[in-house]
Chain A
Amino acid sequence: MAEGRIGDDIQAQLPHRYPFLMVDRVLAREPGRRVVAEKLLTSGEPWCQGHFQDRPLLPGVLMLEMLAQAGGFLEAESLRGAAVFLAAVQDARFRGPAFPGDRLQLEVRAEGSFAGLLKVKGTVACEGRELCTATLLVKRA
């Protein structure tokens, strides 16, 4: 399974579902090392209603969630049924906004793991522009 789209491989790997599934496609996947995935923002996203009413703008914290979900594809096995939690967010930088219509590229690299904790570095980019960079620690219970 090198690539996946909503409805097949993606839902088999992640327990998340609408409206909180934030990976649409996996472009590259090296378990334990690196994942590149995509999320297409549409004007039908639930947050568009209120963030903000006349100027929909992706909440920055959702970029962190997107990176965490993309990180779920670093695991070789399916995470369905597994409890996965964010343990820490470090050095998060938000460098630019994202809007409905944007095609976001989510790239995560594994930095290392110990005792059930995984450290990943992630970048959200749109058309080559870095929108968000952060280091996440994820705990698999």
Chain B
Amino acid sequence: MTDLKQRIKAMLIERLKLEGMTPDQILDDAPLFGEGLGLDSIDALELVLGLEQTFGVKIEDEAAGMKAFRSVQALTDFVADHAKA
């Protein structure tokens, strides 16, 4: 799980071009949007595509996104629950 969380943080940095950030600087419980990482709706689309391509996990709609994108911890739980074994 810790490993998955690190991979998700690395994907966030690469996919969203969070230049100068390291995985350790992203807090597990910080919100991804608004406060926290300060992502916007364009980042949300990149994140959805990144999750599909990197982890094979599909975010079906905005409601699923709202839940999964609450924090890195929430996203890690979502990927762990939905990733193909």
Q: Does A119 contact B (CB under 8 A)?
A: yes
Say whether B52 contacts A114, CB under 8 Å: no
CA distance A117 to B40 in the complex (A): 12
Residues from chain A with Cβ under 8 Å of B45 in the complex: 112-115, 117, 119, 137
How distant is B42 from chain A, measured CB to nearest CB, in Å? 5
Interface size class of B (residues with CB under 8 A): 10 to 19
In this complex, what residue of B is CB-closest to A139? Answer: B41
Say whether B42 contacts A112, CB under 8 Å: no
Interface majority SS on B: helix, strand, loop or mixed?
helix
How distant is B67 from chain A, measured CB to nearest CB, in Å? 14
**CB < 8 Å: which of B41, B52, B62 contacts A112?**
B52
With A87-B42, A88-B42, A114-B44 as contacts: A119 and B49 at CB distance below 8 Å? yes
How distant is A33 from chain B, measured CB to nearest CB, in Å? 15
CA distance A112 to B44 in the complex (A): 12
How distant is A48 from chain B, measured CB to nearest CB, in Å? 34
CA distance A87 to B45 in the complex (A): 11
Say whether A115 contacts B41, CB under 8 Å: yes
Q: Does B23 contact A (CB under 8 A)?
A: no
CA distance A113 to B41 in the complex (A): 11
Residues from chain A with Cβ under 8 Å of B59 in the complex: 114
Q: Does B48 contact A (CB under 8 A)?
A: yes
Q: Which of B29-85 contact A (CB under 8 A)?
A: 41-42, 44-45, 48-49, 52, 59, 62, 65
Q: Which residues of A contact B (CB under 8 A)?
A: 87-88, 111-115, 117, 119, 137, 139
6 A-B Cβ contacts within 8 A? A113-B45, A114-B49, A115-B62, A115-B65, A117-B42, A117-B45
